[in-house]
Amino acid sequence: MAPVTEHQGSFLSRISRRNQIVSMDVNHEQELEELEDFQKHVAERFTELLSPSNTTTTAADSPESDPILSIQWLRKLLDVFMSCESEFHSLLTSNSSQISKPPLDKLVPEMLDRIVKALDICTAVVNGVDLVRQIQRLAEIAVTALKQRPLSDGSVRRAKRALTSLLAALNADKNSVSSGRKTTTAEQWSSMGRRSGGGGEGCVSKNWSAAKQIQAMTANLVAPRGGESSPIYIMNSVMVVMMWTLVAAIPCQTSNGLTVHLPLPKNQVWASAAVSIHERIGEELKRKEKRCGGGGLMEEMQRMERIGLKMMEFSEGFRFNGEENVVEEVAEMEEICRKMEDGLEGLQRRVREVFHRLIKSRSEILEAIDHCNG
């Protein structure tokens, strides 16, 4: 074979560089396509949380039966997160060689830190569901007492005691301040969680705060320059939105101060529905914090409080000829208890699934980093 001349070498170098550029263009085009698909997936799944169901066949399955922050809606939210996380993980692992290179070399460690904080929040939420169960039991005691016929003074007293505890639990932050008790709200929730048998993946410390965890998760959540989104920024945002919503809905240890700004780009298609959800919950949260502080916006708990106040009013003014005045409220409270009985276990199970999915995802990301550095 004849030796390669200088001219031939120059020509081959140009061909090589051209092929590299073409390869880079193809890879970039593929990344843009994958990003577009991921954004579309996130947008569609979050839009489902705002849209009425198209498969309703009975009154029990109607959209009105799953309002925002209801138990069933929260279960759907967790399903949306799992679906988005699965799509994201496929994206990340398909480009695992880039995981230790800029900009992922900085973004990935931040995500791993958020996952650790999210695991703590999952633990607090699982324990919080146990506390909601205790509130449900108090409501059931009041319902049973006020369903007695003829309604006696003793039954009304039993109902009143249960309702007093129920309303105090629903407004724990307000009562812990106004009554001057030495025990903090965080300690109340923590000790009650231990008495209820836990059921979570562990315990958080007495000084732990769900609201502070959320604030820490949003602290360095910054959109990429140029207004473009990246898969890791989108997934971080999805994780923060979900954890914030869970803490707002379910009474967690020290959930005061949740009215934080979530830096979501309203102009991005993927974020539009998430922003709407955040704004709607945020307005309700502001009203709740002005009134008594803390989270606990679960739709069933909100209804339980309204009905409980009416039942308490009846109990305090009870006269033996007034039985029928509370029949409707008792029936509605009984229906809420039934929904909680049916839904809380499934909700708790979903949170545990998210907990274990996050652990697995974090381990696989760490393995990918070790492989790149090895």
Q: Return d(Cα 335, Cα 332) in angstroms, integer.
A: 5
pLDDT at res. 166: 96
So where are the chain's domains? 67-373
Instruction: Compute the half-sphere exposure of residue 355: CA atoms within 13 Å on the CB side of its CA.
Output: 19
pTM comes to 0.83
- What tokens were used for 310? 């009416």
Going from the C-alpha of 319 to that of each of 140, 149, 158, 179, 324, the distances in angstroms are: 22, 14, 15, 30, 11
Number of neighbouring beta carbons within 10 Å of residue 163: 27
End-to-end CA, the chain = 40
pLDDT at res. 360: 95
- What tokens were used for 207? 């000084």
User: Going residue by residue through the chain (374 aa), what tens digit of pLDDT does each one get?
Assistant: 555 555 555 655 655 555 544 444 546 678 788 889 999 999 999 999 987 653 333 334 444 458 999 999 999 999 999 999 999 988 887 777 777 777 788 889 999 999 999 999 999 999 999 999 999 999 999 999 999 988 888 999 999 999 999 999 988 654 333 333 333 344 444 444 444 444 445 677 888 999 999 999 998 888 877 667 889 999 999 999 999 999 999 998 887 778 877 888 888 889 999 999 999 999 998 888 777 665 689 999 999 999 999 999 999 888 755 666 889 999 999 999 999 999 999 999 999 999 999 999 999 899 888 877 76
pLDDT at res. 270: 92
pLDDT at res. 52: 63
Look-up of token digits 């090895």: 374
Q: Return d(Cα 261, Cα 201) in angstroms, integer.
A: 29
Going from the C-alpha of 270 to that of each of 22, 37, 43, 318, the distances in angstroms are: 30, 10, 4, 54
Contact 46/273 with Cβ under 8 angstroms?
A: yes
Helices (DSSP H) in the chain: which residue ranges? 6-50, 71-94, 104-146, 153-170, 172-178, 185-195, 210-219, 231-249, 269-291, 299-316, 327-373
Instruction: Compute the half-sphere exposure of residue 160: CA atoms within 13 Å on the CB side of its CA.
Output: 12
- What tokens were used for 212? 């502070």
